[in-house]
Chains A and B, each alone.
Chain A
């Protein structure tokens, strides 16, 4: 039984990282209906910025992380201002192509730094080992992933429920024209959504870096894992991103733990999220918590 619980706990931990990564993706979609294919690169930018600041300037990882969150928020803000703003009102395919192009540009820019290839480890900033109870073990970086996800979920929950900007964001997501008529700056809301997405992406990058080291391919790959998460949870639902992330994480671990032994070579954990994605698209295309849009013709 402890085997099952260990898989469950590990799944929750991994799922928390996916949830954190998915939060930014959902924020952008929720505010502006843009699917950001460069999200993995935002994760990488945040992680490598923290690494660069910590190793080159000798800053503590915590300070470097705070600065990296701010820097990635700025990158997100200006990305929207420079590349997305001119596309307001344009066909969705144009916007998608721009975010794919942005992924390519960011990838190229990262390759121009020393971090484009190779594996890197953040300097130690957490105690060695972790917490064990009843034969179940969780490392400190993994615990941090859960804490970060919880903190960000609470912060965004408060932000969207209580703050003026957050309420404005929800209003824009519901009806742009009505929001504008009430004096909400839709442009500002879009840019802030990208900045907030930058913060969560950087946080996800830092957690991935702490757990498994920094590698451009790996960090961008987390951006891909976001897709089944948001499809399951609902593209425009913040609680959906968290629930979806944790469900995908648990399914990955349970599949690897119980099915791999019967499949030559294993690897079911890597396939399972995408199988779930297909099933959800089949039966519940708006996800568990996504807004079901009814089109009347």
Chain B
């Protein structure tokens, strides 16, 4: 009889617990199909899996996350519709994707006051005006490119550099800062070429060769970069290649094969083959939720995880501060965030004046089909000077 009452009491407590679990919606709007979906599909999977992990482990007590990944097909109008739906539902945070979509939504994000974490690391997302509620997960494209220029200046003083960029705001984002930084570093940016995905880059590469270019720095996605470096190898050019976060990674190695050897890549994420807690965590989650090897190895998978992780951590901190989970409480939690996360090479830190999460980056080099770090995590010493003038 006593056991029966104990069981009833336990059931009642559990039922109360379930009843009290608050459902918190987090929406991501990005390209699962259409342009850049090669990155977007893995990014979405990273978000889904981190949310599932948070729910399965009861990471935030009393909260059940309902994470939706919506395919906006890289179309700003779709992104806007998804964002409006999330705002109307009262979502406390929104996960974005493209540069164009984020820049277009800035005034609305400012107006509604919902924290917004994009996959685009364009510095314009967090520059004034309308920049209070947007938070970059890692250092901006500008900082990434300047970091790799700093490395180039160190190993090849006075080098001649060309930039090959995506023909979009995403591609153009770091150009002005890179030019200023090159001046400070004593290297020369001889040409900036916009390059769409094409069948042949001979003309561009031969022109670069005629101008004595030693390094090509890419702010692009892996597909066109792979084709360009394969063409450079075919033409027998001695030029070296380097790129920002979305230009490189295991996807590039898969697409370019041997031609990627020596590629210098800057990112804030660990590689899955590394022997550390971050790589172990990513592989564990990928295996747990049945992701294929190409997803687990893609840098876009942990990138999506980090965006979701930042949102969930802010919700956790808002809850622990005894506040109702809302856009405002999550925003306040983000402004105080100093979180030694499991995914990137540095902690996620934000403040009122700093909306860049992970400030540290590493330069990695492709060697024998693997990206290996050639620097310790570091912050660009020049970025703040050239971008903010301080």
Contacts and interface: CB of A to CB of B under 8 A. Distances in A.
Interface stretch (B10-18, B91-99, B133-141, B219-227): B219-227
Contacts of A213: 223, 226-227, 255
A257 B191 CA distance: 13
A3 B210 contact: yes
A13 B200 contact: yes
Chain B interface size, under 10 / 10 to 19 / 20 to 34 / 35 or more: 35 or more
B198 A215 contact: no
A117 B197 contact: no
Given A3-B210, A139-B234, A117 B202 contact: no
Contacts of B251: 119
A221 B197 CA distance: 9
Interface of B: 31-35, 37-38, 40-41, 165, 167, 172, 191-200, 202-204, 206-207, 210, 222-223, 226-227, 234-236, 251, 254-255, 257-258, 294
10 contacts: A3-B206, A7-B203, A117-B31, A117-B40, A118-B38, A119-B254, A137-B235, A217-B34, A265-B194, A270-B198
Given A215-B38, A269-B198, A7 B255 contact: no
A43 B13 CA distance: 61
Contacts of A130: 234
A266 B192 CA distance: 8
Contacts of B196: 267, 270
Contact of A212 (B37, B167, B198, B207): B198
Contacts of B38: 117-119, 215
B193 A117 contact: no
A218 B254 contact: no
A91 interface: no
Nearest to B38: A118
A265 B192 contact: yes
Given A121-B255, A137-B236, A10 B193 contact: no
Contacts of A3: 206, 210
A17 interface: yes
Interface string A54-93: 0000000000000000000000000000000000000000
Contacts of A267: 167, 193-196
Given A118-B38, A212-B197, A260-B193, A137 B234 contact: yes
B223 A215 contact: yes
A4 to B, nearest CB: 10
Nearest to B165: A265
Q: Which A-B residue pairs are the 5 nearest by beta carbons?
A: A117-B37, A256-B203, A257-B203, A10-B202, A265-B194
A116 interface: yes
A208 interface: yes
B234 A261 contact: no
Pick from B223, B226, B257 the residue with the most CB of A within 10 Å. B223
Given A14-B200, A270-B196, A118 B206 contact: no
Given A213-B223, A215-B223, A269-B203, A111 B33 contact: yes
Interface in A125-144: 128-130, 132, 137, 139, 142
Nearest to A222: B199
Pick from B196, B227, B234, B258 the residue with the most CB of A within 10 Å. B234
Nearest to A213: B255
A6 B206 contact: yes
A141 to B, nearest CB: 10
A267 B203 CA distance: 11
Interface in A1-59: 3, 6-7, 10, 13-14, 17
A253 interface: yes
Pick from B165, B207, B210, B258 the residue with the most CB of A within 10 Å. B207
Interface in A201-236: 208, 211-213, 215, 217-218, 221-222
A121 B193 CA distance: 25
B202 A212 contact: no
Contacts of A132: 236
B199 A118 contact: no
Interface in A254-292: 254, 256-257, 260-261, 264-267, 269-270
A222 B196 CA distance: 13
B193 A265 contact: yes
Contact of B206 (A116, A257, A266): A257
A260 B194 CA distance: 9
Contacts of B35: 217
Contacts of B193: 260, 265-267
A11 B193 CA distance: 19
Nearest to B192: A265
Nearest to A208: B199
Interface string A79-113: 00000000000000000000000000000000100
A260 B199 contact: no
Contact of A260 (B40, B41, B202, B204): B204
Contacts of A221: 197
Given A213-B223, A213-B255, A117 B33 contact: yes
B199 A256 contact: no
Nearest to B236: A137
Nearest to A221: B197
Contact of A10 (B172, B200, B226, B294): B200
A164 B282 CA distance: 62
Contacts of B37: 116-118
Contacts of B255: 119, 121, 213
A139 B197 CA distance: 18
B292 to A, nearest CB: 9
